């Protein structure tokens, strides 16, 4: 499992750039939690050579943009090895919190209680 936490206050076209998840190391699941202090922030996720599995999805609003790994609904994307681009569009001034977690296939199955 690899976890990346980012706080964003302006548009960011590649949230994972420069992190341990800049390139997904092997097949698995990429789980993204996102919370914004404004109701119009959006997230787009682009897969390498596979299109855009998430396009301009509104990010959940929260007063303090604190992500809850228990209560918030994540975006789960099956991934292969390569570069996935997470683009956050901050329309109204806001703070956006992103938590990205990569699970190997084995870890994802264990997380789902299937192992």
In this model, does residue 115 exceed pLDDT 80? no
Tokens of 30: 């990429």
| CATH number for region 2-111 | 2.60.120
pTM exceeding the 0.85 threshold for the entire prediction:
yes
Q: Report pLDDT digits (tens) over 32-80.
A: 999 999 999 999 999 998 788 889 899 999 888 788 888 889 999 999 9
Among 2, 55, 69, which residue's Cα sits nearest to residue 29?
2
Kindly tell me the burial class for residue 26, based on how many C-beta atoms sit within 10 Å of its own C-beta (0-12, 13-18, 19 or more). Answer: exposed
- The length of the chain is 115
Average pLDDT over every residue of 2-25: 93
SS3 for 28? Answer: strand
Instruction: Enumerate residues 6+ apart whose C-beta is below 8 A from 107.
Output: 1, 28
Listed by start position, the domains of the chain span 2-111
Q: Report pLDDT digits (tens) over 67-91.
A: 888 888 999 999 999 999 999 999 8
């Amino acid at each position: 499992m690899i976890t990346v936490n980012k706080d964003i206050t302006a548009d960011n076209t590649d949230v994972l750039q420069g992190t341990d998840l800049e390139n997904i190391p092997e097949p698995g699941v990429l789980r993204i939690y996102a919370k914004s202090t404004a109701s119009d922030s959006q997230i787009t996720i682009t897969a390498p050579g596979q299109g855009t599995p998430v396009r301009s999805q509104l990010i959940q609003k929260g007063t303090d943009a604190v992500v809850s790994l228990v209560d918030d609904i994540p975006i789960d994307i099956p991934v292969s090895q390569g570069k996935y681009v997470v683009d956050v569009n901050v329309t109204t001034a806001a703070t956006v919190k992103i938590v990205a977690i990569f699970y190997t296939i084995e870890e994802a199955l264990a997380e789902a209680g299937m192992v």
